[in-house]
Structures are given as C-alpha cells and as structure tokens.
Chains A and B, each alone.
Chain A
Amino acid sequence: MKVPVSWLKKYINLDGIDINDLSHLMTMAGTEVSSIDIVGEHWDAEHLLVGEIIDIKPHPDADKLRLPTIKLSDSETRTVVCGAPNLYVSQKIVFAKEGAYLFNPRSNNHEVLKSAKIRGVESSGMVCSSLELGLGEDHSGILELDSSIPIGTPVKNLLSDVIIETELTPNRPDCLSVIGTAHEMAAITKQNVVYPVTSYSPSNKKIEDFIEIDIIDSELCSRYMGTVIENVKIQESPDWLKDALIKTGHRPINNVVDITNFVMLEFGQPLHAFDYKKIPNKKILVRPSKDGEKIDTLDGENRTLKYPMLVIADDSKPIALAGIMGGSNTEIDSNTTDVFLEAANFSASNTRFTRNALNINTEASYRFERYLRPEIAELAFDRAISLIQEITSGVPLSNHIDIYQRTTDDLKVAFKLENLNKLLGTQFELPEILNIFESLGCLIEIKSSGTIFVTPPIWRSDIKIEADLIEEFARIYGYDQLPTAKINSIIPDRDDSTYINFREIIRDTLVYSGFNETISYAVVNGAKLTETTEISSEIFVKVQNPMDSTKNVLRPNLRVNILDTLSNNRRLNQSDPIQIFEIGRVFGEYKKFNSQIMPDENDQLIAVLSGKRNQENLWDKTHESVDFYDAKGVLEDLFEATKIVFQLEECDEGFFAKGKAAKILINNSHVGNIGEISQHSLSHFDLNESVVMIEIFLEEILKKANLLEHQYTRPSKFPSSERDIALLVNNSIQADQITQMISKNSLVVDTFIIDLYEGEELPENTKSMTFKIVFQSYEATLSTNDIDKAQQKILKSLKHQLNIDQRY
C-alpha cells in the first residue's frame, strides 16, 4: 500500500525522524517498505513557482492554443503558449521557468525545460499539469492551486511529499490503512497515534422510517451498519481529497465515492455508498445469492452468481456484491441527493470464495478476505458521515442501523514469561516485554494469581495465541538483537539412505562417462506421450490448470522429455555426440498409500546417445553413428559401479527399432529398457538420426537386486595364460551364451569377445567370433598341457550344446 508521509503526519509526529531509518526498522519488524518515492525530488525553488493568470490572449495561428500571461511577482510576468482547456484569469497555477527539471510525457523521461517556438510564438516556460510534476496521470488540464496561496511560493514547499510503499504479508490487513501504518510506526518509535476528530449535525429523522435491513446469514456478515444522508451535493472532490487519493494510486470519481475510498484508506475499513432513491421498497437483505442470479457491477460487467456468494439485495435482486463491488443499479451519480452509507464486516472466506469464482479483485475484497475486526466499522462509519457532511453538505439521520453479531470468543490471550524465554532462548524480565505489548496498543491485565492476560488492539486480527504475542515482542525488540545458541542435543539417528546413495552413484557415473544432466518440466504433451509409450492414456495423471494447455499430463516416463531436449538442442545446432540424461520423478496410476489415494511416484533414469559417436570437430576420426552397443557399454558401466548383475531379453515395444531393443532384467524382474529408438518414433520429435536409449526404473532395482556388499576376491599367486579361439557361430546365438559356457570351466577366470566378423566367405547364416580366454589356477602355474585340456573341453561343450565349431 502507498502511504504518503504527509497523510501519516495527521496522526503521528514524525518530526526529526528519518524516513529511511524508520522504513528500515519497519521492514525488519515485518511490515516491509518496498520503496520510498520522493514526490518533487527534482523540483527546485528557483524554477517552479506559484503564479496567477492575469490575462489570456488567443494564439494567432492555432485555435486550440492560447497565450496566458502569468504573474510571478510584482515585478515579473511571463507570457507562454498553452494548450490546456481549463485556464481562466485569476487562476493560481504552477509555473515552470526555463531550466526546470520536469517529466516530459513525449519522451517518457525527466528533462530540462527549454524555451521553444510553438506555431511561431516564442514560449519561455510553461504552465504545468500534474503529469509534468510527477503527481498523477492527468494530462488533460493544468493543475489548479488553492486561490489563497501567495504568488511566488516555491512549489517544493507546497506539494512535495514522500510516499512509502509497503509490501504486506496476508496476516496484516491493519497495515492496509494509513492509521494502521501509523500504529506500526508508533510501536517502533514509542509514540501515540492521534485519531481524526469526527463531528456532525444530524437531522431528527429516524432510520426506521427510511430503510429496513435483514441479515439472512449472520455467519457471513458479523456486523452491518447503515444510515441515510440526505441532500448531498454530488461534485468533484476538494483538492486535498483528490491529492490524497492520487498519491495512493486511486482515481477521484466524485465527492461521496471519494470519501468512502478515503476513509477505507484511512482506517482500512471498506465502505459502500448506494443511491438511496434507487433502492426499491426501501428494504435491504444481506443474503447468499441463488444460483444463476445476475448483477451488473460498477466495472460494467454483467456477472452470473452462484450460491453462497454473499450479496446486498433489495426485495427482488442483488444491488451489490457484499464486500467486493457495488451494482450499477444503485450507483451514485450526479443526480444523487440521498445516500445510503454502509459499513459492514463480511466473512473473509465467503469474500475470497466469491472473488475467486468471479475473478474480481478489489481493494475492498482484498481487505475483507484478510479478516478485519468488526470494531473498525464504527470508527470508519462515523468518520465517513462526518466528512460527507463537511464536503457535500449532506445531513445524516439522527440514528443508524447496527446489526452486530458480537463474537463470543474471548480475545484475551494468556501469557507466561517463562514460555517466551523458553521459545526464544532468552532471559527477559517482564517489564521490558509488557512495555512492548503496550506500545503495540495491547491492554494488559495481571491477575492476582500472577496470570497475565493480553488483549490485542482493535485493529489487529492476527494475534490469537501466546506464540503470536512472542513474535510481537521479538519483532519490535528486533530479531537481530536476540541471542544465538548452538543446538546441544544429540544428533538423531539417521534413516536408511541406501536408495539415495545408489541413485547418486548412478548420477556420478553417467556424468563421468561424458553425459550431460538435464532436468525437464514434469508435465508433457499427451499426444506425444501416446506416440512413445504403451501405457494407457486412461491412467495418465493430469493437471487441471496447466501453464500450457497442450502440456497437461504428469509424465509416466521421461521419454518425451529427453527427446524434446534432444530435438531442441539439434535445432540449436549442437554438435555430436549428444549424450544426455535425466533422473526424475514419474507419475503412475493412483494407488492407496495408508488410506491416501495418490499417484504412484517413482524415480526413473533416462539416458540417450545420439548422432555420430565421435566429436564432429575432431579432425582425424571416422564418423560412425551410435548403436545399441554404445548404450550397452553405458549400462555395463552403471551396473559395474553399483555391483548389480543384469540380463537382457528381447523387447518388442513399438517405440524401439525392431530387434534392436531389450528389457533389462534383474533376477527376472523388469527394471528398465535399452535399445535403438525407431525412426518412426523419432519422427514425432523431428529427429532424423540414430538415437539409443537406456531407461531404468531406479527404485525397482533396489527392490529386486541383492545389494550385497561387494565381496573381495583374492588374486591368485600363480600367473595366468591367455588363449584366443576363433569360432564359427550360428547367427541366432548371442555372445553371452558363449561366454557363459566358457566361464563354466573351472580354470577360466575371464573371457570376452575380441573380434566379431561377418563376411561373405563364411557359411550362410553364420558369423565368426573370437574370444580371449584367461586361464588361471589358485594351486599352481598351469602347464600348456593343462590349458590345452581345458580348451579342448570348452570346445567340446560348445560343439555339443551350441553346435559351434572352431574356426582355423
């Protein structure tokens, strides 16, 4: 909220107080001052003066321009060119001499005023509007000053001000007012707040003869005050009132409406003025609306209401949205003579419900939904009546309606010194604390039993329990002044962190093998998702109000994300190879977790390699596309790092290229997939290159794998020997079938493929595979004979079980 210091000074003495220092203290105490705006920062006493128009001549060459002569002192007059329509002789205005530093609406900058020829007439200086002075948006006419101000007065002394803007937390509606802000400043500077004096002369007429008011649901309206003010004269507001509204960012409308806004800003209590004569049958109901009821609101919208939005209604239709906005049917206009003034306290949650449902945010709804105290209504009500009489000459009735559902809750809060010291870790004495409570406007009762009761002031709705009082003390005392202490209790036991450790090893391994980690948005495009998975769209978990309506599915896997990332980077001409991965949450079908129905969330890993295997900028490499075995190598690295044994089994999911993908199994459980993605799938991502992928259900692995601590193997004392054997193998046989068979021999400590050859001179449907076999014993150095024997045995069983011949 914008609070002009000139306005604050009506209620609190700020002489000798540095506004910057005070603002800092307020910020530290929880009412953040987000900016301090100095009005007239650039005004100087020499160039901006009060002048009086003593003559106006027409411009010889332009109908819309005139040549006013301005008297600045007994010896100095100036004639300038001016386009404003609202000039008249004897008017007091702000005159800017050449050299003044003003806002130029054309350049949108502050500039030094220079003399200029306007349509052939020399003009040195100008008559200012509020826009050029930085006082408001109004550029249509010049700013008119009170006629009593002497000419030659520097404008700086007259109009300059400081406006502080506060950024308030939702618990402090009291500070959405100038007086509330003054109270906060008073607590910090240990002062008192002086309230404005209200007085008015009513007629002797009775409200009962004017209107009948009925509250249908008192839960939704705890207080309703109303009266009629007769014979008001609707006019433009006086300058001081307009100035106050403009400085706080409001547009003046007419005197009655401006007064209701002014008092709202002053006390924080929203008010509403109805044209009394437009209320038929003189009956008002405060009731929840019916479904489908309609109202034209003051902003020109026709709104359809639903139960239980609270409305103010006549005997047939709504005339205002309670606590939010008035209706056009009872609007104050220039012909209004009698005003029905309302000061009420409406339910915070109902106000919030209505403004959310109708998407209508007003100054009134903003305040009501933050819980106002009903006590404020009467202060604001009196003040408004008093100002309406003063400004519009209206006459209030002798009495008013006040339907007040006083809360039965005791607002007193019991307070114990020891609890404060226990929570803050301090040793304060009582007087220091009570002083601060009193400075905040609290009432303190000390019972003979020693119990202390603290009653919060009527403008505070947020102090309800002892902890609130402790915060009040702490924030005014200053958090920074409070002591610090190291926690000295023992460190609690830690939970099992096996899974997180495992996942982080996986992440490390991928990065160290050259992958770049990505993190994507958790929602994806449903259509793209359907193209990349066989998961039924019926079990997709969807976001109701997504940021982008085309992306509303909470991802059940990471495929769309990683391929989008790949595709985007290709578009950015990222060079080969792209190796990226993501570890993130995926969202499966709804499940019951201890009676809570929630999506089944799990971590997954996805990694892709794409394009050419080698870096494009390398000058001496052949460029080969990545294939299945690049992915397989990564998978082997991952599982070696975590000591997990896995198997692969063909996977026929259409997302992958046929015959080039496998399910990853651990102890026969499906824990992921590996393979080349089909060109068809890639086409949905505008990708035209080879892409291989690894997908791992991370949490599943931990459930299925026997994560034994790695068992150390004692190296043999005796040397090992190697043999290479070339085999002629049928194409249907996979390499690990052969390595498994070879490894069965007790003298074999390791074996791996060293050459794969597929050539035309080989028999049809066969390939040549060469394996290196490492023989070693723990008992002795193996003789050539021992090795020959073992090799013969291996060859025999290969022939016997897989029909594999040695190739010479």
Chain B
Amino acid sequence: MDFQKDSYGNELRLKAIEKFDLISNLEQLEEFKSELLGRKGSITDLIKNISTLPSDQKKDAGKNANLIKIFFQDLIQEKFDDYTSTDAEESNPTLDFSLPGRRKSHGSFHPTTVVVREITKVFTEMGFDLAEGPEVELDEYNFQKLNIPIDHPARDMWNTLWVDTTSDVNIQPLLLRTHTSPMQIRLMEKQNPPIRVIVPGKTYRYEATDATHEWQFCQVEGLVVDKGITFAHLKSTLEEFAQNMFGQKRKARFRCDFFPFVEPGAEVSIDCFKCDGDRDGCKVCSFTGWIEIMGAGMVHPEVLKGVGYDPEIYSGFAFGMGAERISMLRNGIDDVRLFYSNDLRFLKQFS
C-alpha cells in the first residue's frame, strides 16, 4: 500500500501503527480496534471530517481515508486470527467427530410418482405420447363405450364409487373412474389414427382396504391404434416394456384373460426378477416364478365402431397396469395402504 507523507490522515496512520506493534493480547487488540474503528474511533472521525474540507480536496481525502480504514481492518483481522487460532489449538485440539454433520433436510418424490415417471420414460422412449384425463367420469365413458352396458355382470370387476348427481337432473350418471380406460375413448374421439399414447392417472374403486387393496390407486393405460396393428405387436411392445423396466433378460408370458373392451384379451406376467423365475419361486412371485404386471388385449371391434373407426381398416391394442403394484414389487413394500397414509417415515425413504 502506498501512502504519501502529507496525504490526508497519514499522521494518524503512523501513530496507530506504533501503537499496534505494542499489542500483546486479544484484549488489547479489541481495545485498539474500538479506538480506531468504533463509533467514536479516530478513523471514523477522519471519515466524518471529510465533509468539512474544501470541495477540491474531498475526493482525494475520501480515497485516502478509505484506504487507511481498509489497511487497519486487515491488520486487526490478521492479528485476531493469530490469537484465536492459537487459543483454539490449546484448549480443544480436535473436533468432536461424532457430532452429527449439518445437512439440508432432504426432499423426496412420492413412490407412485417415482414409478409412474419410470414407466412413462420407458414408453416415451418407445415413441408413446403422454395424455391425462378426468378423474370424475361419465358412466358412458367408464363403462358403456367400453362395451360394458348397464347391468352387465362384468361391472362386478369394477366396484364403483358414484358421484351424487341428485342436484341436477341434466347431469348424466357420473362416477370416480374405476380405471384409466375411458381415456381410450376420449383419445380416439378426439383424433384419427395413428395413436400411440400412455395415460397415467388416479383411479378409484369401492373396495375395503387391506394390505393388498386400496380404494384409490394409480394406473397407467396404453393405447396403440393404426392400420395393421396385430397381437404380435402387442406381445412385442409389452415384452420390450417389461425388459426395459425390469431388466433385459426378463421374459413376458401371455395368458388369456377377459376385459369387455378387448378381444382377444390377455394378462401379462414376467418371470420373477427376484428369483429369475425359479421353479419353486420366492416370496415376491408368491412361489410361482411369475409376476402379473398388467392386463392387455386387442381393442374390441365394438369399441372401435363406437368412436367411428372402421374395424375393417384399423386395429389396435390397449393395456393397463397398476402403478403401486409395480412399486410394491420393486421396493418390497408389503402394504399398499402405506402409499396414501402419507407417513413421512415411509415417504422419506424415496429421496
């Protein structure tokens, strides 16, 4: 630092340096600091007095005063660090390493979000688009247009929570959608083929809860419609999904199953990712070697006709799976009620 002999405050600076050299402990240093830089310290006064100077001197004086201030601040800090660090070393040579570290509280995604995002990612990479739909649905979309007429026994497959529509006679029967399948209809009504979409979303059933049943859960629906879509495409697409989701060596198994809006209908299982489909199986696969992961099938001709698609020209397949079920399988969660109980001790495990 370069100070000129006759510059503003230089006298004060020299005197203070002399005094500084005599300091021998922390107490004296504190005293020195307040004499110089305190409210009524000499450097504070020095700065205040600038305003009394002729205006042509003000600029240089201000600059000098500021330099002096910084000079002593640094000097004091340096000495302060010397004293304090020596003290620390003498009284407490090592830190208590056993004290917990300072951590930011960590956030977490809900396990359903985690699995839905994963499923979505796999299908998006396979060329699927993403759509969402209403959770309160018309009976017409949830059932009738899916080839499930009123008073059809297949309705027992979906115990239904009905919306109270008594307030207005103009409202058609409404319900909490029992599956994401009504979005098949909404998508097909909205656009012409080709369609390749998945639809994640909440679904609801009138169902007593226990470790494996929940009345609210999340499904992921899928729909592919185009010219020349075949059951062979269904098999290939869903096997590819299973492999991307559960590991490349997974095998998918297809058995006949019934859903009124598909024909032929299928249930899709994979060989157990825990025991690799061992003959005797394991707990994850209920000792069968196979794990059911979804329902699927070729879109029923009546459903296609209902949305104005000609089944002679277009065909398609649809599928649906329960998100929580997949999460439970993968994370070893043995009680589905944990998902919506919102116990942070559970949720924080998914950070």
Give A residues with C-beta under 8 Å from B: 27-30, 169-172, 348-349, 352-353, 369-371, 422-426, 465, 467-468, 470-471, 474-475, 479-480, 482-487, 489-492, 494-495, 497, 500, 504, 507, 510-522, 541-547, 552, 554, 565, 568-569, 572, 574, 577-580, 584-585, 587, 590, 596-599, 601, 615, 617-620, 784
Contacts and interface: CB of A to CB of B under 8 A. Distances in A.
Given A468-B263, A590-B171, 13 more contacts: A30-B258, A353-B151, A371-B153, A423-B298, A483-B232, A492-B127, A514-B105, A519-B112, A519-B113, A572-B345, A574-B344, A615-B105, A784-B59
Contacts of B224: 487
B8 to A, nearest CB: 16
A172 B195 CA distance: 32
A554 B264 CA distance: 36
A171 B154 contact: yes
B164 interface: yes
B342 A479 contact: no
A170 B154 contact: yes
Contact of A426 (B232, B237, B341): B232
A511 B105 CA distance: 10
A522 B176 contact: yes
A452 B227 CA distance: 25
Nearest to B153: A170
A734 to B, nearest CB: 29
B236 A542 contact: no
A513 B107 contact: yes
Contact of A492 (B112, B164, B196): B196
B61 to A, nearest CB: 13
A520 B162 contact: no
Nearest to A347: B151
Interface stretch (B9-17, B23-31, B80-88, B131-139): B131-139
Contact of A597 (B172, B176, B196, B215): B172
Interface stretch (B70-78, B96-104, B274-282): B96-104
A617 B99 CA distance: 10
B248 interface: no
Nearest to B240: A486
Interface in B217-234: 224, 226-233
20 contacts: A29-B255, A30-B257, A352-B152, A423-B231, A424-B232, A425-B231, A425-B232, A487-B226, A487-B237, A489-B228, A504-B117, A511-B108, A515-B107, A516-B107, A518-B347, A541-B163, A542-B163, A546-B161, A547-B161, A599-B174
A522 B258 contact: no
B273 interface: no
B67 interface: no
A486 B196 CA distance: 14
Contacts of B351: 511
B301 A619 contact: no
Contact of B130 (A470, A482, A497, A518): A497
B79 interface: no
Nearest to B233: A487
A385 B171 CA distance: 52
Contacts of B99: 619
A484 B235 contact: yes
A30 B256 CA distance: 4
B254 interface: yes
B69 interface: no
Contact of A467 (B202, B256, B300): B300
B157 interface: yes
A507 B108 CA distance: 10
A22 to B, nearest CB: 15
A591 B103 CA distance: 48
Contacts of A500: 130, 132
B3 interface: no
Nearest to B63: A784
A38 to B, nearest CB: 17
A545 B151 contact: no
A513 B107 CA distance: 7
Interface in B124-182: 127, 129-132, 134-138, 149-154, 156-157, 161-164, 168, 170-172, 174, 176
B266 interface: yes
B229 A487 contact: yes
B129 A492 contact: yes
Contacts of A580: 342, 344
Contacts of B320: none
Interface string B316-351: 000000000000000000000001111111011001
Contacts of B64: none
B255 A519 contact: no
Contacts of B204: 522
A484 B162 contact: no
B239 interface: yes
Interface in B236-274: 236-237, 239-240, 253-258, 260, 263-266
Among B157, B231, B236, B253, which residue has the most Cβ atoms of chain A within 10 A?
B231
B315 interface: yes
B139 to A, nearest CB: 11
A371 B239 CA distance: 35
A585 B209 CA distance: 22
B195 to A, nearest CB: 6
B339 to A, nearest CB: 7
Contacts of B230: 422-425, 485
A510 B233 contact: no
A28 B107 contact: no
A370 B208 CA distance: 25
A584 B132 CA distance: 12
B262 to A, nearest CB: 9
Contacts of B176: 522, 543, 554
B33 interface: no
Contacts of B254: 479-480, 482
Among B107, B110, B129, which residue has the most Cβ atoms of chain A within 10 A?
B107
A519 B340 contact: yes
B258 A467 contact: no
B135 A585 contact: yes
B25 to A, nearest CB: 28
A491 B127 contact: yes
Given A489-B228, A569-B342, A467 B263 contact: yes
